[in-house]
A and B are shown apart, each in its own frame.
Chain A
Amino acid sequence: MTETNGKVRLIEATGIFAGYGEVDILHGVSAYVFEGEMVAIIGPNGAGKSTLLRTMFGLLNVRQGSIVLKGNDVTNFRPDKLVLHGLGYVPQVDNVFPTLTIMENLEMGGFVREHGMRDRLDHVFRLFPDLAKRPGDKAGKLSGGQRQMLALGRALMLDPDVLLLDEPSASLSPKMVEMIFDRIKAINEGGTGILLVEQNAREALSVCHRGYVLAMGQNRLEGEASSLLHNEEVGKLYLGA
């Protein structure tokens, strides 16, 4: 495993070229997450933020570059293999199974789990007590906030070491945004490394440890979240200050 100042890199993408069809969206993007760290990726629309997460999770082909997860090269591994290696992913939209119940959604999250399902369910229900209230409800009937909780809960069923979150606060009310970030922070404090993509840059940087700014499919800036938050360029371009 790669170590920097004694800290272990859980997941590291290096020099990634990837995209849809013949067109590359990412032109050599690199990013990593230390153990126990929470990292934000921000940047304008079309910068390739979501594409990077999708590529890291094996949904898009890596044309050049590598992805290393806990010291193992997992470049171009299929998603159903990556979950076994301890990687989790929550898409931005369509992130629950609408005709399945809350309980069934969580069961699907733990699909490859052989045992310990009950403990994991208890863990998720402790984190999101709302979900435990009516486990038989269809996911399609949930509100935006509850749906996001269920989406996170589904990804947590396998107790991932690293969680990739694609805009967890998208289309939520300000109150719900605060709640979801609070929960994500709790997940991170439980020992899960988190890499999240956010449109809501200010909110994201204020809870994360570190941040990357992407533009045009390339790394633009990176650093401590607090320093990015006060960076003049970032402020002008992405924080609307």
Chain B
Amino acid sequence: MAAIEREATTFQFRDWQRRFGNFATGAGLWLLIIAFVIGAFIWERDGLVTGTVVGSLFALGAIGITLIYGILKFGHFAHGDSMMLSAYLAFMFLTGNIAGETQRSDVELLPFSASDLPGATTKIWEFSFGYSLLVAMGLAAILMAGFLIALDHAVYGPLRRRHSGIVTFSIASLGLALIIRSLMLFIWGSGPRFYSPGIREATELPFDIRILYDQIFILAMALVLMAAVYLLLYRTKLGKAMRAMADNAELARVSGINTDRTVTWTWAIAGALVAVAGVMLGLQTQLRPELGFIVILPLFASAILGGVGSPHGALAGGLIIGIVQETSVTSGILDSGYKFSVAAIVLVMVLLIRPTGLFGVPR
């Protein structure tokens, strides 16, 4: 009897020790992150601003990855290229052109364009674009949602019904990523494109922060969408069903939740978010087909860093990756060509300390 009790106490102690260890590494990691952000604010303000903007884009893409992973249990490697494809689709809707080298000499292939709408190209506030870009972004979001749903029906759905393993899913999505990228190269060519030509205006905010007006738009948009995703997941029936399915798909079916419909909605939401992220990436940098492949690494790093399956983890992960990446360049530590590898370094370091990611639940 005494032996059993002693065993129970040891067990409790170990449990406590494990929890404390978990808490300590978590707290340590957060302190490190906060210290880093403060340091960036003092010494690398420009990098911090750009990093926050880029990071919020990563977060929007990473939320999709984390939702798809949670519900379908596989890493969607075609997400980066879907992001870039959305940017090009918005470009197509914006200009009415599909192919060609420069914006002006393009062959008009669409009978309409968002720019043809009355007053659509008149610049909003100090932004570099009119509401035509918003219309194009909306259309791209709808099309991308439909595109991902179609991919699910054509590729992932049949794999699910065959009970394929996680590796099959990931390889399939990698193959789709290659197809999407080739398609973009084929249609739009390898040269860079811009939504609007010319110089973009910057402004001074308090604390000596310099930010482009377009970047203010990106941050605001990301913030609004994050809030919308949060409300969706925690306040609506669909969102709760998505979380329930991520927890236990079979029990969700047993409860009468239509899991097929939930999967369809998950793709739609991930598609809309990644489309907005893609358009804003195009706004922040430029449109180039290979950017889609390049962003896969920071997108996955953001999702994993925050803890796969956790939407607020994706937000934190995105911001951290974005800020570290940009400050590493502005501080002159790394050449800008290497900046995307920073995501991998940060990811490895965090996973060594805390394998579940920042918000992941230890299993």
Contacts and interface: CB of A to CB of B under 8 A. Distances in A.
B250 A91 contact: yes
Interface stretch (A65-73, A77-85, A210-218, A225-233): A77-85
Contact of B254 (A79, A84, A99, A104): A79
Contact of A99 (B237, B252, B257, B361): B361
A83 to B, nearest CB: 4
Contact of B244 (A83, A94, A108): A108
Interface in B247-267: 247-248, 250-259
B240 A108 contact: yes
Contacts of A158: 256
Given A95-B251, A97-B248, A83 B256 contact: yes
Interface residues of B, number: 19
A112 interface: yes
Contacts of A84: 256
B261 to A, nearest CB: 9
B49 interface: no
A104 B250 contact: no
Nearest to B259: A80
A111 B256 contact: yes
Interface string A74-108: 00001110011000010100111111100010011
B57 interface: no
A98 B247 contact: yes
Q: Is the interface of A mostly helix, strand, loop or mixed?
A: loop
Nearest to A158: B256
B255 A100 contact: no
B243 A100 contact: yes
Given A99-B243, A100-B243, A158-B256, A111 B251 contact: no
A140 to B, nearest CB: 8
A79 B258 CA distance: 9
Contacts of B244: 97, 100, 104, 108
A34 interface: no
Contacts of A98: 247-248
Contacts of A79: 253-254, 256
Interface string B224-257: 0000000000000100110110111011111111
Interface of B: 237, 240-241, 243-244, 246-248, 250-259, 361
Interface pairs A-B: 10 shortest CB-CB? A83-B256, A97-B247, A112-B256, A108-B244, A79-B253, A97-B244, A80-B256, A108-B255, A111-B257, A111-B256
7 contacts: A83-B254, A84-B256, A89-B254, A97-B247, A98-B247, A108-B241, A111-B241
Given A91-B250, A104-B240, A108-B241, 14 more contacts: A59-B253, A78-B253, A79-B253, A80-B256, A94-B248, A94-B250, A94-B251, A97-B244, A97-B248, A99-B246, A107-B240, A108-B257, A111-B255, A140-B361
